[in-house]
Amino acid sequence: MPQDATPAAQAANSIHSAAIHLLRSLRRQDRRLGVGPAGLSVLSVLVFGGPKTMAQLADIEDVKRPTMTRIVKALERWGMVERRVGPDRRTTVVHATSTGRTVMIRGRSNRLAVLEERMERLSETEIALLVRAASLLERISKREALP
C-alpha cells in the first residue's frame, strides 16, 4: 500500500485482509459439516432468506444457472433442500429442509462459538469497539444504505 494512500484506501485494505483471514479461519469449522463452501452459501441463503427460485439463487451467488443446478442437486442428494413447483407452475422454488436448517444452524453455532472464545481474550473496550465496527461494516456492505 502506497504511503500516500487515502485513509479510506488504508482502511479498505486492512478490513479486506482481516475479513479474508477471519473467514478462512472460521471456514475450518465448516469442514466438520461435510458440505462444501458453495453448498453452505446456498443453504445459508435459503435458511436465513427463505425459499428462492433457481434464477434468484444463481443471481445471489453470482453463478450461472447450470452451476446452481449442480449445487442444488448435491444439496438435494444430502437431503438438505427440496425443489417445489412455484406458484406460477413454471418455476422451481428451492426450500431448505429441516436437515438443511439443522446443518446451517449447527455450522453457525460452531463459528460463533469460535469467535466468542477468541473475543473473550479481549477487553470490554475492545469488544465494544468491535461491535461498533461490525455495525459500520454492515452499513457499508449494503450499497443502498449509503448516501
Task: Give me the helices (H) in the chain, please.
Answer: 7-30, 37-49, 54-61, 65-77, 98-119, 124-141
Tally the domains of the chain: 1
Residue 14 lies in a domain: yes
What confidence tens digit (pLDDT) does each residue in 39-87 have?
999 999 999 999 999 999 999 999 999 999 999 999 999 999 999 998 8
CATH of the domain at 28: 1.10.10.10
Residue 96 lies in a domain: yes
1: Cα within 13 Å, side-chain hemisphere? 14
pTM above 0.85, yes or no: no
Residue 146 lies in a domain: no
What confidence tens digit (pLDDT) does each residue in 121-144 have?
999 999 999 999 999 999 888 865
Residue 1 lies in a domain: no
Residue 147 lies in a domain: no
Residue 97 structural domain: 7-141
The candidate with the shortest Cα–Cα distance to 32, out of 122, 86, 89, 108, is: 108
Residue 117, pLDDT > 80, answer: yes
Residue 115 lies in a domain: yes
Give me the pLDDT at residue 146, please: 53
Stretch (H or E) spanning 144: none
- Among all chains, which residue has been given the C-alpha cell 494512500? 5
